[in-house]
Amino acid sequence: MSSDDIIRSAERRRPRLDKAARQDRILAEMRASATLRVGDLAAELDVSTETIRRDLFELQERGLLNRTYGGAVRPFASEPAVTERHRMMVTEREAIAAAAVKFIKPREVIAIGAGATTTHVARRMSAECRDLTVITHSFSVATVLAANPTIEIIMCPGRYNAREGMMVGVETTEFLQNYNINRALLGISGITTDGLADAEAPAASVYKAMMNRAAETIVVSDHSKFGIPSLAIWARIPDIQRLVTDRAPDGAVARALARAGVEITVAVSSSAGRA
């Protein structure tokens, strides 16, 4: 018997996984690769394509993946309300904020999007920066900036989103067309090779409008957003100029950022510095 025959014989004797183990294996494959194909999974797990489709349907019902034509992708990022996010990854966000404000110069016009990380940036701006004009649609950003009398705040009009504490809608995006902006400081719900995205489609429209009016777009994000797809893409990777984060990205996202020439600034937290 040849070595190939021995391998094929061993594969035939390999017991099939039960449904729970099979679905665990599918989720493990999903963590390793953002996209799965039905045919590949069927061959790998030695079951029919119909069995795989049923597995994917059940996993989607549990919110663990999103089915696509011929396969599945990771679930879109969904986020808790901004009030909850303010209590998450505080050390990392404070470090990102401290690094981000170093790029802001006096007498600049800055647009700031809504979000927990951008509010940290605004708080640091209020403490360290002077003589700025800031355009924002976020009430939390405006509130923390108001402590600095040298910062003029322009609040965007629009429809109020109470969950995120922000203004959105056509009035918001049209209002932004009236301004020239030096830098846009924006957060994300996720970034993949497809682009930068937000869990709130109306917010994504505002971020895109801010980016389009700005000479430079700075994205502020902790590492948990890397490789995570979200609902509404508002920019492609080549559209941005700088990423400020707490940990350098790797894999496909890192390669896409490098190809686009995006400058990456990795912030070091004070706790890391003491380690």
Q: Tell me the per-residue pLDDT of 197-252, one tens digit each, with 9 for 90 and over.
A: 998 999 999 999 999 999 999 999 999 899 888 889 999 999 999 999 999 999 99
Q: Rounded to 5 degrees, what are φ and ψ at 189?
A: -90, -25
Rounded Cα distance, 22 and 190, in Å: 28
Report the half-sphere exposure of 152 (CA within 13 A, side-chain side).
8
Beta bridge partners of 168: 159
- The reported pTM is 0.73
Domain ranges for the chain: 3-73, 82-274
Nearest one of 136, 122, 48 to 86, comparing CA atoms = 122
One of 1.10.10.10, 1.10.645.10, 3.40.50.620, 1.10.260.40 is the CATH number of 3-73, namely: 1.10.10.10
What is 102-114 written as a DSSP string?
GG--TT-EEEE--
Q: How are beta strands 35-37 and 71-73 bridged, if at all?
A: antiparallel
Would you tell me which CATH number, out of the four given (3.40.50.1360, 3.50.50.60, 3.30.70.270, 3.30.470.10), belongs to the domain 82-274?
A: 3.40.50.1360
Q: Please write the tens of the pLDDT for every residue from 44-53.
A: 999 999 999 9
CA 164 to centroid of chain Cα atoms:
16
Q: Which residues of the chain have pLDDT under 70?
A: 1-14, 31-34, 75-88, 270-275
